[in-house]
Structure 1
Amino acid sequence: MEILASRVLLRPADYQKTLTFYRDALGLAIAREYGGGTVFYAGQSLIELAGHGSPVAGTPPFPGALWLQVRDLAATQDELRDRGVHIAREARREPWGLHEMHVSDPDGVTLIFVQVPDDHPLRRDTRG
C-alpha cells in the first residue's frame, strides 16, 4: 500500500461557526474551497471541514486531538488570546520536554499547540 496524501476530516455540528473558528480565530490559510466544505493548510497536513454529511446522531466526539507545531508558543498564545480564542490550558513545559498549550474548537476537538525546544530529542540527530 502506498499512501499518497492524508488529511484530518471533521464534520462539525455547526459548519459556519467552526469555519469562522479555523479561518478567522486560528487564521489558517485556505487550501481549497468546494461546494460542501473548506480545506485548510496545517503545516505538512490538511484539515478539512465538511459541511456535507453531518455528524451521525449518537456518534462519539472526535476521539483524539490535533497536534499543531508552532515556532513560538508564547507568541501564538498571545495572538490567539488577542483574537478572542479561549485558552483551555495555558502554555507550559511538559515532563516529556515539549512546550504545549490547549485550545478547543466549537465541537470540543482539542488542538494541542506545540513548540519543540532546541534541546529536545526531536531536534537532535540521534543517528550517532
Structure 2
Amino acid sequence: MEILTSRTLLTSADPQTLTDFYRDVLGLAVAREYPGGTVFHAGAGLIEIPAHMPARDGVGDVLWLQVRDVAAARGELATAGVPIVAEPETKPWGLIEMTVHDPDGRALILVQIPADHPLRRDLR
C-alpha cells in the first residue's frame, strides 16, 4: 500500500484547551481549520486535533494515512486478515475514509481525497 501523506490525530476530552495549547503555547502554525477541528504544521509532519472525535479510553492516538485508492487499500488489508472497523464512506467533510486498528488497538484512518476536494492540488 502506498502512503501519500500522514498526520497524527490527538483526541481529547477538551479539544479547545488542547488546540489552544498547540497554537498558543507551542506556537504551531495552523495548516487548516475546519468545522470541528484544527490541523497544525509540526516540522515535516502534521498534528490534528479533531473536536468531532471523542477521546477514547486507552489508546487515544490515531494515525491518518492518505492513500491513493481507499477501496484498493481495503482489499489489501482484508486479504491480509486485518479486520475492517469502519467501511469506506464519504464523510460530511468530503473525504472518503475507512478505519482499521493496529495490533495495539490504535485507530488507523485511511483517507482518499476525491479529485474535487479542496485539499487536492494539482502539482503540475
TM-score, length of structure 2 as denominator length = 0.51
In the TM superposition, structure 1's runs of 4+ consecutive aligned residues that sit over 6 Å from their partners are none
Tell me which residue corresponds to 2:92. 95
Structure with the greater alpha carbon radius of gyration: 1
Question: What is the CA-CA distance between 1:108 and the residue it aligns to?
Answer: 0.9
How many percent of aligned residue pairs carry the same amino acid? 56
- Give 2:68's aligned amino acid: R
Q: Which runs of 5+ in 1 are unaligned?
A: 1-6, 9-43, 46-59
Tell me which residue corresponds to 1:62. 59
Question: What is the CA-CA distance between 1:124 and the residue it aligns to?
Answer: 4.4
TM-score, length of structure 1 as denominator length = 0.49
Q: Which runs of 5+ in 2 are unaligned?
A: 1-6, 9-43, 46-56
Q: CA RMSD of the aligned region, Å?
A: 2.3
Tell me which residue corresponds to 1:104. 101
- Relative contact order (C-alpha < 8 Å, sep 6+): which is higher? 2
- Give 1:65's aligned amino acid: V
Tell me which residue corresponds to 1:113. 110
Structure with the largest fraction of strand: 2
Equivalenced residues, count: 70
Distance, in Å, in 2 between the alignment partners of 1:124 and 1:107 is 34
Distance, in Å, in 1 between the alignment partners of 2:92 and 2:103 is 29
Tell me which residue corresponds to 2:33. none
Q: Secondary structure at the match of 1:114?
A: strand
- Give 1:121's aligned amino acid: P
